[in-house]
Amino acid sequence: MAESFGADPARYDRTRPRYPDELIVRIAGDGGRTVLDVGTGTGIVARQLRAAGCRVLGLDVDARMAAYAREGGLDVEVAPFEEWDAAGRRFHIVVAGQTWHWIDPVAGPAKAAEVLRPGGRLAVFWNVSQPAPDVAEALAAAYRDALPGAPLNPWSRTALDGYSAIVDKTADGIRGAGAFGEPEEWRYGWECTYTRDEWLDQLPTGGGMAVLTPAQRTALIDATAAAVDGLGGQLRMGYTALAVTAALRRRG
């Protein structure tokens, strides 16, 4: 599933949602800070932080995604974060947008503590979809129609409930590193309107699509198209940008 994201980096970069300015500004502070972007992918987060005045180094395990990010002018290295050699470099901030759940929950925070400057901050975050009830039901019905008997319908429950386990696991891992202050949780709500074609364009970038057969993918896309048509040809998707963050304790 993780390897599927680099199959079409241009589509991924074009369709994946950005993060609200309030979150980016809060992380970047007054600018001029050095940032390590773990799981940088095509550079969505890195570009936002660079625009906020930060100097960003991207890191990703997928050479295809890294190559795309470099085409956009970003500095990116390819390696698993847990095994990456920082060569003595230290950063004011370590971030991960939509990727920290792929990082080892014990080794990841320990590595972040190793590469952060004294007083530096780890900030990991996700965009969590929160559709209105009518939108959620339409998308859930499309999923049921296309994939009858599928064990997990992503639109049948509140996505924030599903992320609670990820948040708890992330916070516990940060605490376990023994190098950070108490983790904080930040939330920022925002919304985006998608046309039918825009919503269908992003659908194949979801990790769950990688485990479907070609016929199942086609059926899901067709059913979702009909669902969006039933909503008037567009849908309004609510999101919560959910961050777990902690500051490195100053030593000595």
Please report which confidence band the pLDDT of residue 252 belongs to, taking 50, 70 and 90 as the band edges. Answer: very low
Q: What is the mean pLDDT of residues 208-228?
A: 93
Residue whose structure tokens are 């709500």: 189
**pLDDT value of residue 128:** 94
SS3 content of the chain, % helix, strand, coil (to 5): 45, 25, 30
Measure the CA–CA gap between 107 and 81, rounded to whole angstroms.
9
The percent of residues in the chain predicted with pLDDT above 70, rounded, is 97
Contact 184, 196 (CB under 8 A): no
**pLDDT value of residue 159:** 72
Q: Does residue 1 register a pLDDT over 80?
A: no
* 225 exposure class (CB count in 10 Å sphere: 0-12, 13-18, 19+): middle
Q: What is the mean pLDDT of residues 79-100?
A: 97
**pLDDT value of residue 6:** 61
**Regarding the domain delimited by 2-130+157-191+240-247, which CATH topology (the fold level of the hierarchy) does it fall under?**
Rossmann fold (3.40.50)
Please report which confidence band the pLDDT of residue 139 belongs to, taking 50, 70 and 90 as the band edges. Answer: very high
> Tens of pLDDT along 226-244?
999 999 999 999 999 999 9
- Residue-wise DSSP of 40-95: -TTTHHHHHHHHTT-EEEEEES-HHHHHHHHHTT-EEEES-GGG---TT--EEEEE
Mean pLDDT over the full length of the chain: 93
Q: What is the mean pLDDT of residues 106-115?
A: 98
